[in-house]
Amino acid sequence: MIRATLLALLFTMLLPILAFAETDSLPAKYLSLGSKRAGFCFGNSPVFTGFRFNGLNKNVRRLNGFDLALVNLDQKGASNGISLAVGANTQHKNNGLAAGGLVNAIDHENGIMLGLLYNVGDRLNGMGASVFFACDTVNGLAIGVGGVGRRGMDSLGAINGVAIAFAGTITGTMNGLAVSLENVSDKHRGLAVGVYNNTKRLKGIQIGLYNIALNNPKGLRRLPLINMHFGK
């Protein structure tokens, strides 16, 4: 839902760029310096290995190498290497580095996700950093200056690794270290460091001004400075 909303807003903002790119970058219209599918490419090649430069990436099945575009709308294909987009970078799968000037929306990322404003996706295996970070499943490191997770929408989300944010970390299951002003989860196994820590089921330690572990006995569920639970 959040991804669809973001893409709709971006489409409105980037409509002039999309209109220009569409005229010069129709599917399968490209110039290749080298072989048909390898070398240096200028345009919208569906399959290519090497360096590709394009206005609007669309209906691309696979890229191996370096890709630079104004807008990337590859929602079904796969990119192996470095994928950069000045505006929005949307892909089904990336193995390597994916970066978007405004939004980086990757369904499955194995590597590094960088978004100037937003990082959104289904699964990240690796590292991601942006102002706002929202991935359903993170295996690795998630950094969001404005926040990691989506308040009210992440009861099924999971972070396995480290989450670092200024505003807050909101997720369903947190396995590892969470550091932010506010750490909220359904389940937390590990360490939470923040001003306010709140979880329904804690197996680990909370350090902050106010710590809530609802699976502790009465009288120990809400404590200042530190709270902990190591039982079932």
Tell me: the pLDDT tens digits for 50-65? 999 998 988 888 999 9
Residues 154 and 134 in one domain: yes
What tokens were used for 116? Answer: 């100037």
Where are any strands of DSSP class E within the chain? Answer: 30-35, 38-43, 47-58, 62-85, 88-100, 103-115, 118-148, 158-165, 169-179, 182-193, 196-213, 222-229
Of 73-77, 148-152, 165-169, which gets the smallest average pLDDT?
148-152
Max CA-CA distance within the chain? Answer: 72
The separation between CA 126 and the C-alpha centre of its own chain, rounded to angstroms, equals 10
Domain hosting residue 151, numbered range: 122-232
Contact 189, 199 (CB under 8 A): no
Residues 152 and 97 in one domain: no
Q: Which of 96, 116, 136 is the last residue of a domain?
A: 116
Residues 101 and 146 in one domain: no
pLDDT-based confidence at residue 18 (cuts at 50, 70, 90): very low
Residues 78 and 106 in one domain: yes
pLDDT-based confidence at residue 19 (cuts at 50, 70, 90): very low
Neighbouring CB atoms inside 10 A of 138's CB total 31
Give yes or no for residue 14 having a pLDDT over 70. no
Contact 159, 143 (CB under 8 A): no
Q: How many Å is the Cα radius of gyration of the chain?
A: 21
**Helix or strand holding residue 150 (H, E):** none
Residues 143 and 187 in one domain: yes
Residues 112 and 164 in one domain: no
Q: Quote the mean pLDDT of the chain.
A: 87
**Helix, strand, coil fractions of the chain, as percent rounded to 5:** 10, 70, 20
**Helix or strand holding residue 123 (H, E):** strand 118-148
Residues 126 and 109 in one domain: no
Residues 86 and 143 in one domain: no
Q: Which of 116, 131, 164 is the last residue of a domain?
A: 116
pLDDT-based confidence at residue 29 (cuts at 50, 70, 90): confident
What tokens were used for 40? Answer: 């240096």
As for how many domains the chain has, the answer is 2
Give yes or no for residue 12 having a pLDDT over 50. no
Q: Single out the residue of 203, 199, 219 nearest to residue 211, CA to CA.
A: 199
Residues 151 and 111 in one domain: no
Residues 185 and 228 in one domain: yes
The separation between CA 139 and the C-alpha centre of its own chain, rounded to angstroms, equals 11
Q: Model pTM? A: 0.82
Neighbouring CB atoms inside 10 A of 40's CB total 15
Q: Which of 68, 99, 116 is the last residue of a domain?
A: 116
Residues 107 and 153 in one domain: no
